[in-house]
Amino acid sequence: MNIVVLAGGLSEERDVSFATGSNVAKALRKNGHQVILLDVFMGYSDKEEDLEGIFERSQEASTQVTGITGTAPDLEAVKRSRKDQSPCLFGPNVIALCRMAEIVFLALHGEHGEDGRIQAAFDLYGIKYTGTGYLSSALAMDKNLSKRFFAANQIPTPEGIAMKRDSANWKLEETGLSLPCVVKPCRGGSSVGVSIVWTEQDFQKALEEAFRWEDEVVVETYIRGREFSVGVIDFKALPVIEIAPLEGFYDYKNKYAAGSTVETCPAELPEEISKRMQQYAEEAAKSLGLTTYSRMDFLLDEENHMYCLEANTLPGMTSTSLLPQEAQAVGMDFPQLCERIIQISLEKYE
């Protein structure tokens, strides 16, 4: 098949997306496909040219990728580096190349990639793509809305509120929540802008940091406990994986720096607790209408109360990502996982 793996973009997870895209492109080429790895923002070439036969030179046409740094990218510098300086998210030839592909593998993370806008645009263009649709993407991306869907479907989630920048309450005692708490951007990913708050002064600093990334934040009760994740493929949960950072919490650095986190799959949990967490993961996916594949993040406190934190509609596929490890635990290697995602995605177009 001729496949475009779409990565990059203009979210704080741009570098992570490239790592995902590079891994996916390599696996799909191993499976025998002709694959172009494409930066959705930079596009391919800034000149008008005949694209016929481009998949025969797919590796030459692909974006060259470097590793993930320890901090989020400078997006303003990325914008300045594009030659045409267009405000359009789609770079030169992106739509044309995606229309030429038999399917687009979405390796995007964060804003634009997971919020449903690209999915909606592709639906209008008649472009086939992997993953769930535009509406479920938008619901899952919004942590405030997804928490409401969880609560409405009896899926436990930490108590919390959402605040807009222009009407934010900077005094914690007036929010109805207490210390410690967690402050995070409402639609961000990879834990960028997330803070655990222990003092009133820290609360104001945490709000400033979260509002640096977007205009709405979620403040929720801090749950002290173990961190887990459960992938869901075609509404069926994979084995539970435990994430244990050596220092701090599962932030941007601990997610992508090799050796900074101990990950155990299947997680060492009583069978009843594992099954219950898997059931909640499946129910969370169904409540948001997430098709194809997704991943739910959980906390488990000392009394074995579990809490679903959020849903990820395009889970990471890097060398340290969780979903591939969970798939491996049931005998599905990385190339097989990528192929399975494509197969399920194509079924929705039949």
8 Å CB contact between 285 and 235: yes
Radius of gyration of the chain from its Cα atoms, rounded to whole angstroms: 20
331 included as an active-site residue:
no
Dihedral sign (CA 294, 5, 123, 13):
positive
310 included as an active-site residue:
yes
295 included as an active-site residue:
yes
Active-site pick, 295, 307, 321, 326:
295
Q: How many CA atoms lie within 13 A of 200 on its CB side?
A: 7
Active-site pick, 190, 229, 274, 287:
190
Active-site pick, 15, 111, 142, 297:
297
Output the six-digit token pair for 225: 């406990």
Report strand pairing: 293-301 vs 225-233. antiparallel
Active-site pick, 15, 220, 310, 326:
310
Active-site pick, 13, 227, 242, 326:
13
256 included as an active-site residue:
yes
Active-site pick, 62, 312, 321, 345:
312
| Cβ atoms within 10 Å, residue 254 | 19
312 included as an active-site residue:
yes
Active-site pick, 316, 321, 339, 345:
316
CA 82 from chain centre, in angstroms, equals: 25
8 Å CB contact between 231 and 211: no
174: Cβ contacts below 8 Å, ≥ 6 apart: none
What residues act catalytically?
13, 190, 256, 295, 297, 310, 312, 316
